[in-house]
């Protein structure tokens, strides 16, 4: 199939600001590039670092006016809220500990927010942010990137219409090898903050990777977690936070599951894999081969569906950007989430009602679920890997 998706471009371009993502950071540049894919928003303000020099250097390189480069996110939220050409949404890409105060600063002033995952550290903070966004009718997105992939969206529709029957077991894993050494002591900024509880919060491996499994499974199946039994390991000597974790789960309705995350799994790069097993068949998504989804219906040959080649459901197909054989991946998936979110902002501003498809992005409630998942797993592990109810 050569044709791409038919997607009418909007003449409206929104303005956004970013907190975090300065020179030397990783995820901020990913967000900026993903937003730029569809030309629906431009960056016009920022507080990119706790270092004024870094913020200035980053902002000026991005072409942002000097008077819209701020020393703190509090100043940025306060000053942007006063402007007639204020930002239409704020993107927060800082370490976990500052997600809550930064998001609250913008929401309190009526500015919609996109926040990197996990939403924050404490369950009470996540609930407060979700309630604040709802009370002010502000669209809030949490960047669980993989739910933006067309193959995940197609698999979700297959499960929702009953192709694999009633879900009875789920297997999710997300192994990496990058912390098999003490990278946090060798100058890696990413390793330094992720292994520091003052910056990362209660968990490292489970918080960084396990929340992606939790959200991907929730998005695909719609199942709610009933209870968890977790063991969180600190395999590398001297680590304060987990670098390996195993979680058994029970879901409402009777399904069972097991999740495994690791940053000390030699030979693995970024191997998120989710298998959904039902009474009629199964579906498998593997992030490193994200242009394909495996569907096995009992008694029939296993199918490997290809994004761009095989017919997808219309909503899923609308996110396919290029022909088959040309891989789409991480940037495109995050770009798909931003495209949906920004179009919803535009539609809301025009006073139009938002549909389920308009709101097909991870919201603050999804962020709350992720924070609660982390907290319950930490509670279980600290109590000797006992079952903990949600």
Q: Which residues of 206-221 are buried (b: 16+ CB within 10 A; e: fewer)?
A: bbbbbbbbbbbbbbbb
For tokens 């910056």, name the residue: 199
pTM of the model: 0.95
CA atoms within 13 A on the CB side of 163: 18
* Whether residue 301 sits in one domain with residue 241: yes
Q: What is the mean pLDDT of residues 103-116?
A: 98
| Distance set, CA 265 to CA 38, 235, 262, 382 (Å) | 36, 11, 6, 23
Buried residues in 137-152 as b, exposed as e (16+ CB within 10 A):
ebbbbbbbbbbbbbbb
Task: Enter the tokens of residue 285.
Answer: 């998504």
> Where do the DSSP E strands lie in the chain?
14-20, 41-47, 89-93, 113-115, 140-142, 167-175, 225-233, 244-251, 256-262, 273-278, 281-286, 292-297, 303-306, 387-389
Q: Are residues 61 and 140 in the same domain?
A: yes
Look at residues 295, 293, 297 and name the one whose alpha carbon lies nearest to residue 151.
293
3 within a domain of the structure (yes/no): no
Q: How confident is the model at residue 12 (pLDDT cuts 50, 70, 90)?
A: confident
Among candidate residues 321, 291, 332, the one with its CA nearest the CA of residue 36: 332
Check whether residue 186 and residue 275 sit in a common domain.
Answer: yes
Number of domains in the chain: 2
Q: Are residues 180 and 314 in the same domain?
A: yes
| Tens of pLDDT, residues 140-180 | 999 999 999 999 999 999 999 999 999 999 999 999 999 99
In a domain, 330, yes or no: no
Name the DSSP class of 97. G
DSSP 3-state assignment of 217? helix
The CA distances from residue 338 to 74, 261, 333, in Å, are 24, 27, 9
Tell me, yes or no, whether 175 and 242 share the same domain. Answer: yes
- Model confidence at 6: pLDDT above 90: no
Instruction: Please give the structure tokens belonging to residue 31.
Output: 């967000």
Q: DSSP assignment, residue 8?
A: P
Please report, in angstroms and rounded to a whole number, the separation of the first and last CA atoms in the chain: 45
pLDDT of residue 2: 45
Give the CATH number, domain containing residue 185.
3.30.360.10
Are residues 103 and 33 part of one domain? yes
Residue numbers of the domain that contains 49? 14-145+359-363
- Inside any domain, residue 342: no
Q: What is the mean pLDDT of the chain?
A: 96
- 204 φ/ψ angles, rounded to the nearest 5 degrees: -105, -75
Residues 112 and 171 grouped into a single domain: no
Furthest-apart CA pair in the chain: how many Å? Answer: 65
pLDDT category of residue 24 using cuts at 50, 70 and 90: confident
Distance, CA of 37 to CA of 15 (rounded, Å)? 15
Residue 46 phi/psi, 5° resolution?
Answer: -170, 150
pLDDT at 10: 58
Domain shared by 139 and 209, yes or no:
no
Look at residue 343 and tell me if it is in a domain.
no
- Per-residue model confidence (pLDDT) at position 11: 74
How high is the pLDDT of residue 54?
A: 97
Checking if the pLDDT of 84 tops 50, the result is yes
Looking at the structure, tell me whether residues 77 and 136 fall in a common domain.
Answer: yes
pLDDT at 7: 56
- Distance CA(83)–CA(284), nearest Å, equals 48
| pLDDT-derived band at 1, boundaries 50, 70, 90 | very low
Mean pLDDT of all residues in 88-113: 98
In this structure, what CATH number is given to the domain that contains residue 26?
Answer: 3.40.50.720
- 384: alpha, beta or left, given left = phi > 0 and alpha = psi -120 to 50? left
Rg of the Cα trace of the chain?
21
Q: Answer yes or no: is 6 within a domain.
A: no
Q: What is the pLDDT of residue 161?
A: 97
Residue 118 burial (CB count, 10 A): 29
Number of helices (H), then strands (E), belonging to the chain: the values are 13, 14
For residue 216, tell me if it sits in a domain: yes
Calpha distance 47→8 (Å, rounded): 33
Report yes or no on 5 lying in a domain: no
Q: How far apart are CA 351 and CA 353, in angstroms?
A: 7
130 shares its domain with 278: no
In this structure, the answer to whether residues 105 and 120 fall within a common structural domain is yes
* pLDDT bucket at 288, cuts 50 / 70 / 90: very high
Residue 160 and residue 281 in one domain: yes
Q: Give 210's DSSP letter.
A: I
Q: Is residue 123 one of the residues assigned to a domain?
A: yes
């Amino acid at each position: 199939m050569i044709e791409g998706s038919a997607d009418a471009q909007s003449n409206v371009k929104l303005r956004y600001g970013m907190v975090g993502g300065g020179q030397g950071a990783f995820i901020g540049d990913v967000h900026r590039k993903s937003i730029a894919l569809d030309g629906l928003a431009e960056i016009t303000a920022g507080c990119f670092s706790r270092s004024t020099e870094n913020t200035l250097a980053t902002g000026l390189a991005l072409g942002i006016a000097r008077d819209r480069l701020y020393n703190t996110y509090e100043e940025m939220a306060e000053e942007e809220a006063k402007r007639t050409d204020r930002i239409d949404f704020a993107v927060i890409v800082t370490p976990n500990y500052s997600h809550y105060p930064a998001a609250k600063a913008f929401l309190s002033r009526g500015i919609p927010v996109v926040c990197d995952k996990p939403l924050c550290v404490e369950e009470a903070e996540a609930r407060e942010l979700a309630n604040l966004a709802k009370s002010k009718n502000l669209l809030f997105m949490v960047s669980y990137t993989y739910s933006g992939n067309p193959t995940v969206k197609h698999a979700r529709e297959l499960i929702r219409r009953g192709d694999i029957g009633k879900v009875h077991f789920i297997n999710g894993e997300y192994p990496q090898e990058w912390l098999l050494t003490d990278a946090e002591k060798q100058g890696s900024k990413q390793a330094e903050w992720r292994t520091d509880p003052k910056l990362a919060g209660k968990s490292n491996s489970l918080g960084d990777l396990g929340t992606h499994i939790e959200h991907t499974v929730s998005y695909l199946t719609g199942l709610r977690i009933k209870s968890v039994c977790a063991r969180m390991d600190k395999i590398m000597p001297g680590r304060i936070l987990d670098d390996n974790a195993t979680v058994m789960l029970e879901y409402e309705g009777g399904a069972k599951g097991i999740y495994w995350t690791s940053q000390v799994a030699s030979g693995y790069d970024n191997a998120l894999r989710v298998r959904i097993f039902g009474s009629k068949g199964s579906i498998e998504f593997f992030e490193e081969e994200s242009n394909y989804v495996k569907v096995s219906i009992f008694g029939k040959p296993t199918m490997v569906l290809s994004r761009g080649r095989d017919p997808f459901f219309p909503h899923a197909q609308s996110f396919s950007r290029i022909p088959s054989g040309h891989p789409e991946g991480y940037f495109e998936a995050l770009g798909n989430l931003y495209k949906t979110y920004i179009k919803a902002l535009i539609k809301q501003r025009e006073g139009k009602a938002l549909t389920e498809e308009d709101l097909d992005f991870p919201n603050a409630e999804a962020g709350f679920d992720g924070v609660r998942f982390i907290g319950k797993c930490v509670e279980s592990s600290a109590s000797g890997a006992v079952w903990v109810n949600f």
